[in-house]
Structure 1
Amino acid sequence: MTLRVAVSGASGYAGGEVLRLLSSHPEVEIGSITAHSNAGQKLGGLQPHLHALADRVLEPTEVEVLRGHDVVFLALPHGASADIAAELSDDTLVIDAGADHRLESTPMWEKFYGSPHAGTWPYGLPELPGRREKLVGARRIAVPGCYPTGSLLGLAPGFDAGVLEAEDVVIVAASGTSGAGKSLKPHLIGSEAMGNMSPYGVGGVHRHTPEIIQGLSWAAGEEVSLSFTPTLAPMPRGILTTATAKFKRGVSVPEIRAAWDKAYRDEQFVHLLPEGQWPSTKSVLGSNHVVMQLAVDESSGRVVVVVAVDNLTKGTAGGAIQSMNVALGYPEGTGLTAQGVAP
């Protein structure tokens, strides 16, 4: 059966990426395409790379427009998804690419987002231990944030295998400017961003911090303490994450590497590179693939994992479609077989 799929927020980066990938999905018919302030405009004027959909006119992001579809993707700012999702049928698969339904903790949501908590949906990161089975048959899915995608995939195998300490985890990640969305912001204009790197959300205040803690704590079976620092890199898309954690006493270097090898040897999209080869963001550009490498710093007693992910593909839209495939029983890679682009 062909799925009729609606995409909201289609004029933004995340919505546009969802449409790009859905256009290659053999089981999908693209139904309503919606936006807010850009409603009434043709998609081609806002997403000129989507040639097959260029003449489609954006409809308003309203419940009546989204009803009647088999699947609805909500690529909206945080706080905008919950009310719409609540009005859609329980038979409709609703996939929220925003933050509204990612966190289990109401206090953490209120602290970092400053609004009422909308509840928790199954978490759309199939490779994270214990998550894939929760997606099967789901009708509501919360897509992870882009920073958590790389951070969780980087360290979860070590916590799941019991080789890492839960205290003193440190993650520093550099993201391309598309991670901030399409709205005009002075620090993202070319003259500010080109040839420049800068930190932001420093000191544990970035909104993805509780989400990373939540996912690592799931894997560890106990609360993980985290210092997370995001930085802005002068590139349009991609995230390079450097994640470090202490390894437990008595654990050998071969045991450490074996934990990551075991976790990802059968995964289609997550790859532990051969020893000596290090990740680069360009190698995963436009793809749903994640590449990583690890090193054991015995002098400091820490494992260092470096992860490259495309923030718009695996970090948002690709992860959303992969989760849709799991939920509906399609092969997980359907519509997501593209390799990276080089040079």
Structure 2
Amino acid sequence: MFTAAIAGASGYAGGEILRLLLAHPQFEIGAVCASSNAGSLLGEHQPQLSALADRQLEPTTPDVLAGHDVVFLALPHGASAALVEQLPDDTVVIDCGADFRLRDAGDWESFYGTPFAGTWPYGLPELPRADGSRGRDDLAGAPRIAVPGCYPTAISLALAPGLAAGVIEPHDLVVVAASGTSGAGRSLKPHLLGAEVMGAMSPYGVGGGHRHTPEIVQNLSAAAGSRVGVSFTPTLAPMPRGILATCTARLRKGVEPEAVRAAWVDTYAGEPFVQVLPSGRWPSTGAVLGSNVVQLQLAVDESVGRVIVSAAEDNLTKGTAGGAVQCANLALGLPETTGLPLAGVAP
């Protein structure tokens, strides 16, 4: 058994990590930590976790977190770096924040506005890269892992196979994606009030302004072997959780439509958490609710020479907490699928 501490346990991502760890046969839940909610009972914030309802939230300090085999950090962006410096080197740290995802210091400072903390192995195991490797090649035994953002998980897995196989052009990638409100965290924000969200959709971060943009470019450039161009427009949907990403790219000249589907099917053959659906079936956020799965479907619009890939995921599971547990499994030498749900919850 491995002991796990969770920082940010009163938030959405922290609660989802705890839900998954309760069903994990190799983890024992240790300290559950929070910042402003420290001292209160976990059940006040995560009533769905009845087995842990009487646990008191402890302060998020190095002393509390030390002594565990694994520490999961579900903290606001920019909060992880200072804390990690004070944790033992032999503690596996899985960071769900953005602090260590980016390789380019300029991108970090431009999009996040704080000093660059460095780069950790990037926790997207299924990501194909131009050199034939996968993301998981960097994760086995890694003591520090940066979990991807929720949008980059869906979008990267949607487009990377076509770039790695050379069937789509890298310079004109267009993505429009809808996310549920939990993607913005649990803090009170006027634009996320029920009265504002119900019955409405709205774009945000338009014109390349979303913080996940450089992460998406980084991942897809690794798949293509050269820098790609991505136009990313996120939208807010009136649902609590889920992402549906519609990704399009120019079909490379001379590539037949049959070769396009084969690139995705071949790439993800044997990947339990990425499902290329049978022809004619399209992804739905409802179908992946609560699962650690990304569903994909694609089509070729021959009239304009573009490939369309649709991706659905649960932003809190595969997009955050499930990805974190998957990375912890790899870091600890456990089977990658241990404790992670393949089936969604419907309706």
Global fold match (TM > 0.5): yes
Distance 1:47 1:338 in 2: 23
Equivalent AA in structure 2 for residue 45 of structure 1 = E
1:225 partnered with 2:229: yes
2:3 corresponds to which residue?
4
Tell me, yes or no, if the aligned pair for 2:2 and 2:28 is still in contact at 8 Å.
yes
Equivalent AA in structure 1 for residue 301 of structure 2 = D
In structure 1, the gaps of 5 or more residues are none
What does 1:155-234 align with in structure 2 at a 5 Å threshold?
155-234=159-238
1:246 corresponds to which residue?
250
Q: State the shift of 1:71 in Å.
A: 0.2
Distance 2:78 2:35 in 1: 14
User: TM-score, with normalisation over the residues of structure 2?
Assistant: 0.98
1:324 corresponds to which residue?
328
Equivalent AA in structure 2 for residue 136 of structure 1 = A
Q: State the shift of 1:266 in Å.
A: 0.7
Q: State the shift of 1:187 in Å.
A: 0.8
1:98 partnered with 2:97: yes
What does 1:1-343 align with in structure 2 at a 5 Å threshold?
2-129=1-128, 130-343=134-347
Equivalent AA in structure 2 for residue 234 of structure 1 = P
SS of the equivalent of 2:218 reads helix
SS of the equivalent of 1:192 reads helix
Equivalent AA in structure 1 for residue 14 of structure 2 = G
Distance 1:14 1:195 in 2: 25
Q: State the shift of 1:205 in Å.
A: 0.5
Distance 1:109 1:245 in 2: 26
Equivalent AA in structure 1 for residue 95 of structure 2 = D
User: TM-score, with normalisation over the residues of structure 1?
Assistant: 0.99
2:131 corresponds to which residue?
none
Count of aligned positions: 342
- Share of identical aligned residues, percent? 67
Equivalent AA in structure 2 for residue 74 of structure 1 = L
**Segments of 4+ in structure 1 off by > 2 A?**
none
RMSD: 0.6
Q: State the shift of 1:79 in Å.
A: 0.6
Equivalent AA in structure 2 for residue 269 of structure 1 = F
Q: State the shift of 1:337 in Å.
A: 2.8
In structure 2, the gaps of 5 or more residues are 129-133
Tell me, yes or no, if the aligned pair for 2:290 and 2:341 is still in contact at 8 Å.
no
Equivalent AA in structure 2 for residue 104 of structure 1 = R
Equivalent AA in structure 2 for residue 239 of structure 1 = I
Distance 1:219 1:67 in 2: 37
Equivalent AA in structure 1 for residue 297 of structure 2 = Q
Distance 2:85 2:24 in 1: 27
SS of the equivalent of 2:145 reads strand
Distance 1:241 1:338 in 2: 20
Distance 1:327 1:250 in 2: 42
